[in-house]
Amino acid sequence: MSPPVDALLSVQGAVKSFGGVRAVDGCTFDVAKGSTTGLIGPNGSGKTTTFNLITGLERPEEGEIYFEGQPLVGKRPHQITRSGLGRTFQTTRVFPDMTVVENMMVAAPEDNFDDSADRAIELLALVGLIELREEFGGNLSYGQNKLVEIARVHMRPHRMVMLDEPFAGVNRTLAEQLVDYIEKMHARGVTYLIIDHEMKLVMRLCQRILVLDQGKLLVEGLPEVVQNDPAVLSAYFGQE
């Protein structure tokens, strides 16, 4: 298979099993450049594993993955990140024994210190954490950790950012701030792929929705179409 011309990210027939379970089972989809795309599906449908395959934390047994036409399979996670593709984790991975500012600085590309510092400060201000810049990661609340992680992934000028459940366990006000922030960064040209169960927010943010079920792409389309698709309802609720 060859890399598609118009897609920023392209997953083609990816397969990954754990023991006897095929967590990702021939998954194929594209993410268009400049879009905000939602990746939804019931628990265990292979969403996070798909993220892990794309970012190099897991290696697919079969299939190809392309980012900007370049194959990703076989590359190490830091190489993939440096090629312009960032991600966050479902359970936040903020470094607890580092301050918020250190968490930001450690994620900066290895260039000018002052530029990185300015970026860190700007991002912390954007997510409203500037007051907590010297607090240790381990002392922050769950929601604050989410914000640090989302701000931190933007320390590099990524062309695409994948967010794994950014809204899970986050209160309404905070979730609204996150949506604003994602929209702001999207307007600056960042492409997003977002996993979440918060349907209202996903439908609002995303121009396109991908639905995974049992490790395969079940349906893709516009939010309003996907929402009422019988196959999607069946996957979620077990209806015929």
- Give the chain's radius of gyration (CA, Å): 18
CA atoms within 13 Å, Cβ hemisphere of 59: 5
Sheet holding 216-221, edge to edge: 85-87, 160-164, 191-195, 36-40, 208-213, 216-221
CB nearer to another protein: pick between 193 and 209: 193
Residue with tokens 């510092």: 117
Residue among 16, 154, 156, 208 that touches another protein (CB under 8 A): 156
Here's the x/- map for another protein, 178-217, by CB under 8 A: it reads as ----------------------------------------
Return the bridge partners of 22, or none. 17
At 23, list the tokens. 């967590």
| Near another protein in 72-91, by CB under 8 A | 76-78, 81-82, 86-87, 89
Pairing, β 70-71 against β 191-195 = unpaired
| Minimum distance from residue 41 beta carbon to another protein (Å) | 22
CB nearer to another protein: pick between 59 and 93: 93
Using CB under 8 A, list all residues that contact another protein: 55-57, 76-78, 81-82, 86-87, 89, 93, 95-99, 101-102, 105-110, 113-114, 117-118, 120-121, 124-134, 141-144, 146-147, 152-153, 155-156, 170-171, 173-174, 177
